[in-house]
Amino acid sequence: MKETRPRSFYVLSCVFALFLLFLYGPMISILVLSFQGPEGGLVFPMNGVSLHWFEKLREGGGQVEIGPALRRSFRLALVVMVLTVTFSVLAGLAFRRGFRGATLLLYVAIASLIVPSIVVSLGIALEFRLIDEGIKALGAAWGIEWIQRDFVSALGPFTSGLGAHLTWTLPFGLLIMFAVFNRFDPAYEEAARDLGATPWQTFRHVTLPMIAPFLIGVAVFGFTLSWDELARSSQVMGADNTLPMQLAAKTTTVTDPEIYALGTATTGSSILLVLVTFTVATLLQRRRQRG
């Protein structure tokens, strides 16, 4: 017997195909164009196939100078990742026990997801202007020499920039921890307590190992959200640029496919990062089950 598919199947398939095309089409175009021949331009058709633009990228000194921005973005993403995991776990534990004003605090945290990113960025920049003026006023009033001579601004990737990224990653991390702790049976902790574990031992030997697989998720989330954030970064990095900012700036001025080579390289390393973390997570899970 041959099964016939309803017509809706074909219609929905077309919709899905379109979805895939829009999802991966741009990425594939860039991937293909990054292998453009030395004489090729920014658009199709391909003028030969080569690794020319990757080599140029590796040598540096071309139109796209991204080394410092890349290193800065990587360091920032790492710091954001560590802080996001730490704070999310602690906040998750606190919300689980309940405290006065918990609901209000939750709404405030979620609200920062709703406020447009660019507004958050601008607001933080304005706030730091005020802080700068305050510091300068202090320097003048108390005659602190280095402030008067060297201080320009407190704005920077690891001050205002870090804060801006955390307004984005912390609510996500917190929401994930909510979901995790919602399904976490307190009987495990009671059992540990019953067996003589101190609160710290209970956390260290029972709670933490049990939520560890989810923390990998929070970490990857924190890292990637910071790594490709543009809008929230735009006003708050001071004199420095992060990688997405650098790329955004370059797209308006660059005239050769080196930028595509960069896109391919960074996308590739992101995918690699995700693959590595998931492999590690799976291996951990398997080791746990095998025993």
Stretch that binds other proteins, among 83-91, 119-127, 130-138, 282-290 (CB under 8 A): 282-290
| CB of residue 284 to other proteins, shortest distance in Å | 10
Specify the residue, 98 or 196, whose C-beta has the smaller distance to other proteins: 196
Specify the residue, 58 or 205, whose C-beta has the smaller distance to other proteins: 205
Of 151-190, binders to other proteins (CB under 8 A) are 185, 187-188, 190
Specify the residue, 42 or 179, whose C-beta has the smaller distance to other proteins: 179
Stretch that binds other proteins, among 18-26, 76-84, 232-240, 283-291 (CB under 8 A): 283-291
Specify the residue, 193 or 250, whose C-beta has the smaller distance to other proteins: 193
Q: Cα–Cα distance between 46 and 37 in angstroms, integer? A: 7
Specify the residue, 31 or 284, whose C-beta has the smaller distance to other proteins: 284
Q: Residues 50, 38: contact at Cβ < 8 Å? A: yes
Of 120-139, binders to other proteins (CB under 8 A) are none
Of 183-242, binders to other proteins (CB under 8 A) are 185, 187-188, 190-198, 201, 205-206, 209-210
Number of residues in contact with other proteins, rule: CB under 8 A?
A: 21
Tokens encoding 76: 């920032």
- CA gyration radius, the chain: 25
| CB of residue 290 to other proteins, shortest distance in Å | 8
| CB of residue 179 to other proteins, shortest distance in Å | 18
Number of other residues whose CB lies within 10 A of the CB of residue 145: 8
| CB of residue 289 to other proteins, shortest distance in Å | 6
Specify the residue, 21 or 212, whose C-beta has the smaller distance to other proteins: 212
Interacting residues with other proteins (CB under 8 A):
185, 187-188, 190-198, 201, 205-206, 209-210, 288-291
